[in-house]
Amino acid sequence: MNRGFRGYIMVDQVTIQKQVVVQEQKLKDFCNKVWMKLGVPPQDAKITTDVLVLADLRGIESHGVARLPRYYADLKNGWTTPTNQSKIVKETKATAMIDGGQSLGQVVGHKGMQLAMKKAKETAVGIVSVRNSHHYGIAGYYSLMALEHDLIGVSMTNAAPLVVPTFGRNAVLGTNPISLTAPAGKERAFVLDMATSVVPRGKLEVYDRQGKKMPPGWAVDKTGRGTEDAHTVLDALSNRLGGGILPLGGEGEEHSGHKGYGLALMVDVLSGVLSGAATGLGVDVNKEKPNVGHFFMALDPAAFRPLDEFKRDMDRLARELKDSPKAEGQSRIYVHGEKSYARMEKFRKEGIPLGPKVVEAMKQVGTEIGVPWLG
């Protein structure tokens, strides 16, 4: 057996899945070699890989290396440019507008957040809007960048239509994620990274790969009725037959699905309308020029009050939440980001678990392009 991974069995109520556990650096080396074989410069390959592997490390497997075959196909088909063609087309002291030039979304996103942080250090706030980009991975990667500079970070992106509006039965909006991070002192930094839908598309793909039924309340079929069949929903979405994922809160207004719908629309306004990128039905990551839009913001808390006081009060707020009375049967209250940090520590020590279908797809890419799997 290759020393870079080991196999084990995970058991649940539905199926037995054999996982492959891969060491972080070996996984990164494989991904980097794939990108560079396709003409991506080493530094851009590293950024793209870092975004994917961080998703797996933080337990967001739907946006991890399972996405490598998709980006590979886009580069191979010429739908994504291997070299960074993005450029600043409009700029003020605190803002900038970037045209992504159909470059890798991760590379464009990294550039956008770096620029937002630079402006925040100079003017207290930096806002960067992006158009003409591609899928950029997890929103949290970019907001997390701000923590390294003691800044508050915001990242969001629109996406292909997968989510039905409240009282609708056809997908019009994307899962449109939002991420906000804020530095703390002794406590873990606050890290919110969430889709504005009940779940991201990747969650449906995970259930489809595993042959499992979805929990009720995740999605509706082409008639607008709830369904637990992930494959049916994914097939209908791919062929624009109707149905889709529900907005955060679920179906109708009883559990505030209209609020998740509103958040998704807010992301499309800031990422798409503001930048001039595609919006709603116009965002199609499966076509040659998807024109995805992103939004980045960095905010310097030291422009408002001493940084140590801000961090002190972030700690106090976190402890207040975690020390509050627990619900019956519960032993801990978490602050956003804590579970992901724990997963990162575990997976960096023990290795990253990957599903068998993900591994097979990556092996296939490696064979096709001449990059040995974990070789």
pLDDT, one tens digit per residue, over 247-292 is 999 988 988 999 999 999 999 999 999 999 999 999 976 667 789 9
Q: Report d(CA 177, CA 137) in Å as an integer.
A: 10
Query: CATH assignment of 84-198+249-336, given 3.30.310.50, 3.30.70.1900, 3.30.1370.60, 3.40.50.10860?
Result: 3.30.1370.60
**Extended beta strands in 233-351, E state:** 244-245, 292-299
Burial class (CB in 10 A: 0-12, 13-18, 19+), 173: buried
The string of DSSP letters for 120-175 reads HHHHSEEEEEEEEE-----THHHHHHHHTTT-EEEEEE--SS-BPPTT-SB--B--
Identify the residue whose tokens are 């590979």. 72
Query: So what's the pLDDT on residue 200?
Result: 82
- 8-61 residue pLDDT tens: 333 333 334 578 999 999 999 999 999 999 999 999 999 999 999 999 999 998
Chain position carrying tokens 């306004």: 269
Domain coordinates in residue numbering, the chain: 5-79+351-369, 84-198+249-336, 200-245
Question: Is it true that 5-79+351-369 and 200-245 share their CATH fold?
Answer: no
pLDDT given at position 202:
78
CA distance 246 to 253: 12
Low-confidence ranges of the chain (pLDDT < 70): 1-17, 285-287, 375
Under DSSP, the state recorded for 189 is P
Judge residue 230's burial from the number of C-beta atoms within 10 Å of its C-beta, 0-12 exposed, 13-18 middle, 19 or more buried: buried
As to burial, measured by CB atoms within 10 angstroms (0-12 exposed, 13-18 middle, 19+ buried), residue 34 is: buried
Is the Cβ–Cβ distance between 268 and 173 less than 8 Å?
A: yes
H-helix or E-strand spanning residue 9: strand 5-11
Measured distance CA(61)–CA(40) in Å, rounded: 24
What span, in angstroms and rounded, lies between the C-alpha atoms of 188 and 338?
7
| Inter-residue contact 201 to 230 (CB < 8 Å) | no
- Distance from C-alpha of 294 to C-alpha of 232, rounded to nearest angstrom: 30
pLDDT at 286: 60
Two structure tokens written together for 56: 């797996």
Write down the pLDDT at residue 337.
96
H or E element that contains 220: strand 219-220
Beta-carbon neighbour count of residue 1 at 10 Å? 6
Q: Would you tell me how many other CB atoms lie within 10 Å of the CB of residue 375?
A: 11
- β-strand partners of 20: 7, 354
Domain 5-79+351-369 -> CATH class: mainly alpha
Q: What is the CATH number of domain 200-245?
A: 3.30.60.50
CA distance 146 to 139: 12
